[in-house]
Amino acid sequence: MTYSRSEPTYRRKSRQTDPPSGCLSGFLIPPLIVLCFGAVLALATTSLKTPEAQAQSPTASNNSSISSGSLAPLFTPEIQFWSASIMRWSAEHGVDPNIAATVMQIESCGNPNARSSAGASGLFQVMPFHFLASENAFDPDINALRGLDYLAKSLQSSGGDARLALAGYNGGIGVINRSEASWAAETIRYAYWGSGIYADALQNAGTSSRLNEWLAAGGAGLCQKARERLGISP
């Protein structure tokens, strides 16, 4: 998490507004032909949403992940090590555990002692100004509290758009409403990797080409340090 110091706010997950109660809301028994036409149009619109478009901007949802009681199998062993904790932390903050795992994957690969050159620390690479003076930034529970609080607010600000939320987590919530042309190169890469990994996780995939790409781009070294810290055999 390397967002601007001018944006030390935290986040809660967005809540969908309640839909109109029934298909007749706002109408007085519309003709049957109108209803049929509307249904056909809705079906056609849905079919035009390509898998590529959905993968580029997945919508965060926690229902399937929480009910399954486990993370998608694509995450590396270092992330799976924290599976039970991620499930608990995510439930406390109302976020999908798979998007929480995606953030941990990219930020620290599960190394609770990870520290960035910018001063971010712990599993979720949280900047110092997010902690109280009495808090241990490297304590996994405290780090998750502050990191997932921020992620939840980013999801709220993005309207549940996971790609934008991930960009906000890296670059600060303010980037969500700015042109992507103004994003830092790091934020663009972060949103690219994160949205692809998360889209695959939503499918409960066993592997992810985007995750493999991230590992090849330097993530493997991060995971090696995490393995050594956690005592996980190769």
Q: Is the pLDDT of residue 6 over 90?
A: no
Exposed, middle or buried by CB within 10 Å (0-12, 13-18, 19+), for 93? buried
Domain ranges (residues) in the chain? 53-230
Whole-angstrom distance, CA of residue 94 vs CA of residue 156: 11
CATH class of 53-230: mainly alpha
Asked whether 215 and 105 are in contact (CB, 8 A), the reply is no
pLDDT in tens, 187-221: 999 999 999 999 999 999 999 999 999 999 999 99
Compare 191 and 23 and report the one with higher pLDDT: 191
According to the model, what pLDDT value does residue 1 have? Answer: 67
Band (63; pLDDT cuts 50, 70, 90): very low
According to the model, what pLDDT value does residue 208 have? Answer: 98
What is the pTM for the complete model shown? 0.75
